[in-house]
């Protein structure tokens, strides 16, 4: 992948307060689960803040941001310009496409996409992870989920209703449904980490 230009227009850089709030707690989980070497493929990188913050903490990993919306590339490039080359140029990736533009990865991470996209996007994400992760590879998912036997927090209930009002195909997903889909694609749910603001980190591993 071509290295990005040294000079990037910082005017295109976007900032999310929620990213600054959650990045350190997510980083603490990533330090426990990411491999030592290889490519980390980030799905739905959005503004690019997370990749730019995480990548310097993993100097032996290559960070590849992606997004379905090319309008996000300017912001991703702008944030990545601060990392000294730790983050590659973004590439366009629609999870429902096959093949993906990245053929292999040691880890895949996707944050805050599953609930604001159609279920078909999650199907594509899990199927793609099953295709390109090697044995022991990590799929890291972050966001809100519904769990059997666990009452949905009032804030998440309101958020779920708001999402469905924006688009009937959106909404907080059932963790059990995600796990069934993952199992069908050779991915085993390794463990779950409770996160602030009623979010979860889900760590799946590709089975041999």
Q: Give me the pLDDT at residue 18, please.
A: 78
Residue 33 lies in a domain: yes
> Does residue 207 belong to any structural domain of this protein?
no
The verdict on residue 6 lying in a domain is: no
Decide if 99 is inside a domain. Answer: yes
Note down the domain range covering 181: 17-154+170-200
Residue 85: predicted pLDDT? 81
Domain-located, residue 163: no
Q: How many domains does the chain have?
A: 1
What does the pLDDT read at residue 187?
98
Q: Is residue 101 part of a domain?
A: yes
Alpha-carbon gap, residue 163 to 116, rounded angstroms? 7
* Beta bridge partners of residue 173, listed in sequence order: 145
The pTM for the full model equals: 0.93
Q: 3-state secondary structure string, the chain?
A: CCCCCCCCCHHHCCCCHHHHHHHHHHHHHHHHHCCCCEEEEEECCCCCHHHHHHHHHCCCEEEEEEECCHHHHHHHHHHHHHHCCCECCCEECCCCCCCCCCCCEEEEEEECCHHHCCHHHHHHHHHHHHHHEEEEEEEEEEECEECCCCCCCHHHHHHHHHHHHHCCCCCCEEHHHHHHHHHHCCEEEEEEEEEHHHEEEEEEEECC
Which CATH number goes with the domain that contains 177?
Answer: 3.40.50.150
Q: Identify the CA nearest to 134 among candidates 207, 64, 61.
A: 207
What's the average pLDDT block by block, 10 residues per block, for the chain (208 residues)? Answer: 51 78 95 97 96 95 97 95 90 97 97 97 98 98 96 96 98 98 98 96 96
Tell me, yes or no, whether 10 lies in a domain.
Answer: no
**Two tokens at 103?**
């053929």
Long-range pairs of 5-13 with CB within 8 A, sequence gap ≥ 24: 5/81, 6/81, 7/81, 8/77, 8/78, 8/80, 8/81, 9/74, 9/78, 10/78, 10/81, 12/74, 12/75, 12/77, 12/78, 13/47, 13/75, 13/78, 13/79
Q: Is residue 104, in this structure, part of any structural domain at all?
A: yes
| Among 108, 110, 105, CA closest to 134 | 105
């Amino acid at each position: 992948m071509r290295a990005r230009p040294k000079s990037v227009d910082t005017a295109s850089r976007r900032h999310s307060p929620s990213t600054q709030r959650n990045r350190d707690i997510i980083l603490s989980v990533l330090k426990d689960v990411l491999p030592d070497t290889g490519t980390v493929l980030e799905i739905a990188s959005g503004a690019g803040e997370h990749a730019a913050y995480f990548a310097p903490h993993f100097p032996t990993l290559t960070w590849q941001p992606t997004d379905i919306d090319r309008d996000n590339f300017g912001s991703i490039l702008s944030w990545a310009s601060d990392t000294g080359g730790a983050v590659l140029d973004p590439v366009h990736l629609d999870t429902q496409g096959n093949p993906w533009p990245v053929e292999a990865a040691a880890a895949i991470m996707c944050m805050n996409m599953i609930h604001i996209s159609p279920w078909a996007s999650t199907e594509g994400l899990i199927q793609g992870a099953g295709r390109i992760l090697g044995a022991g590879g990590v799929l890291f998912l972050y966001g809100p989920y519904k769990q059997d036997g666990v009452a949905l927090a009032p804030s998440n209930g309101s958020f779920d209703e708001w999402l469905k009002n924006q688009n009937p195909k959106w909404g907080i997903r059932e963790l059990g449904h995600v796990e069934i889909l993952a199992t069908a694609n050779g991915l085993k749910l390794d463990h779950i980490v409770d996160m602030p603001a009623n979010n979860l980190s889900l760590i799946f591993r590709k089975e041999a």
